[in-house]
Amino acid sequence: MNIMVTGANGFIAKNLIADLRHNGEHNVLKITRTTRKEELEKACEQAQFIFHLAGVNRPEKENEFMEGNHDFTKELLLALKKYNNTSPILITSSIQAEQNNPYGKSKKAAEDLVFEYGKELGIKTLVYRLPNVFGKWCKPNYNSVVATFCHNITHNLPIQINDSQKKLRLVYIDDIIKEFQNSMDGLENRKNDYCEVEPVHQVELGEIADLLQSFKETRNDRSIPDLSDPFTKKLYSTYLSYLPEDDFGYDLKMNVDERGSFTEFLKTADRGQVSVNVSKPGITKGNHWHHTKNEKFLVVSGKGVIRFRKINEDEIMEYHVNGEELEVIDIPVGYTHNIENLGNTDMVTIMWANELFDPENPDTFYEEV
């Protein structure tokens, strides 16, 4: 399908185009500010679906609002009409269209053009009044506070908050793209004259700032945010996309001795923690048991044996493990256990525990297997 996308260099368009290229056989006709008139007309002749995402929101002169939003929309519709193109047209507007300001007036004027065009020619029109949008590739220090906060915090720059209790209505870029894909299939989320993207997250500005600052601290305490919360999950993904390209990596504290090493990798408040254990050849670690703490061991390199003995019993059970045949071994409570490296190289084991280590209550009791 030939799909025209105006404003092709913009934040939403970049995400849409990336998705279109990987979901179906689409030929994307990209329209930008530098597109020549003859190229625009050719695209208007060929397009089978139109995403009109172009717009002006921070011009140097006030009259540029109307030129960029109303006048260009009129030019686009006239070109489509010239070639008798009756393809559906989707336009992104703004909740500011309800406001009596230059930007809002220009967006409302563009909406009216599209509605009139659709009614006159019987063409399907889809108008989305978007609230604040956040996600990867949004330009910081422009018109998105989330993008600005993400950029500044990841680059160790200060952020400015004038009203921490100000509530923002936010939609995530992936939810927009999903809705746009649905609209191409005739499954748009239409509410009366307008279409909507869901869900809309209503979050206080101070909460956004606090979450982003907490994301920065996760490198120090090795924690993972509560990703069961949809907004936190989306914001964390957005935050990571603003990391400087020379700062993707960070060091972990390795606890090293003659036996090998033990390094905490990830911690979660309600899903325990993950660590990496390295054992030298011939080394046995463990020989302890737990009341409530339980674990999972996964040897990913080398070979060894994990031994168990139920407390107050004599029978010893053995599970031989190696990095060539990955097998997760559960470590039940009430069994003393150890792990021995039987190979000639370091044995690497991924270890998960159901709770974070608490030095005041370690729930770990020494006893030889």
Q: What is the mean pLDDT of residues 40-57?
A: 92
**How many CB atoms lie under 10 A from the CB of residue 116?**
12
Looking at the predicted structure, is the pLDDT value of residue 165 above 70?
Answer: yes
Check residue 14 and give its pLDDT. Answer: 97
Percent of the chain at pLDDT exceeding 70? 99
Query: Rounded to whole angstroms, how far apart are CA atoms 194 and 6?
Result: 20
Q: What is the mean pLDDT of residues 45-52?
A: 97
Read off the tokens for 120. Answer: 């006159």
Superfamily of segment(s) 132-170+198-250: NAD(P)-binding Rossmann-like Domain (3.40.50.720)
Query: Rounded to whole angstroms, how far apart are CA atoms 195 and 130?
Result: 9
Q: Based on the number of CB atoms within 10 Å of its own CB, is 65 exposed (0-12), middle (13-18) or buried (19 or more)?
A: buried
Q: What is the largest CA-CA distance in the chain?
A: 89
Q: Are 2-130 and 254-366 in the same CATH fold?
A: no
Q: What is the mean pLDDT of residues 181-206?
A: 96
Average pLDDT of every residue of the chain: 95
Query: Rounded to whole angstroms, how far apart are CA atoms 93 and 97?
Result: 7
Looking at the predicted structure, is the pLDDT value of residue 68 above 80?
Answer: no
Using DSSP, state whether 18 is helix, strand or coil: helix
Check residue 78 and give its pLDDT. Answer: 95
Q: What is the pTM of this model?
A: 0.92
Q: Based on the number of CB atoms within 10 Å of its own CB, is 38 exposed (0-12), middle (13-18) or buried (19 or more)?
A: exposed
Class of the domain covering 254-366: mainly beta
| Per-residue pLDDT tens digits for 299-328 | 999 999 999 999 999 999 999 999 999 999
Check residue 55 and give its pLDDT. Answer: 82
| Per-residue pLDDT tens digits for 238-266 | 999 999 999 999 999 999 999 999 999 99
- φ and ψ at 163, to 5 degrees? -145, 100
| Per-residue pLDDT tens digits for 78-114 | 999 999 999 999 999 988 888 888 878 888 988 999 9
CATH of domain 2-130: 3.40.50.720
Query: Rounded to whole angstroms, how far apart are CA atoms 306 and 64?
Result: 71
**Helices and strands (H, E) in the chain, number of each type:** 9, 21
Query: Rounded to whole angstroms, how far apart are CA atoms 341 and 260?
Result: 11
The vertex-224 CA angle with 219 and 227, nearest 5°, equals 145
Length of the chain: 369
| Per-residue pLDDT tens digits for 126-135 | 999 999 999 9
Check residue 65 and give its pLDDT. Answer: 74
Residues known to be catalytic: 103
Check residue 221 and give its pLDDT. Answer: 94
Read off the tokens for 368. Answer: 């030889």
Looking at the predicted structure, is the pLDDT value of residue 336 above 70?
Answer: yes
Contact 339, 349 (CB under 8 A): yes
Check residue 59 and give its pLDDT. Answer: 67
Q: What is the mean pLDDT of residues 180-202?
A: 95
Q: What is the mean pLDDT of residues 350-363?
A: 95
Q: What is the mean pLDDT of residues 64-78?
A: 85
Q: At what angle do helices 11-22 and 173-184 cross, to 10 degrees?
A: 60
Query: Rounded to whole angstroms, how far apart are CA atoms 267 and 272?
Result: 6
Element (H, E) at 142: none
Read off the tokens for 1. Answer: 């399908």
For the chain, give every domain's residue range: 2-130, 132-170+198-250, 254-366
Q: What is the mean pLDDT of residues 51-72?
A: 80
Q: How confident is the model at residue 211 (pLDDT cuts 50, 70, 90)?
A: very high
Looking at the predicted structure, is the pLDDT value of residue 204 above 70?
Answer: yes
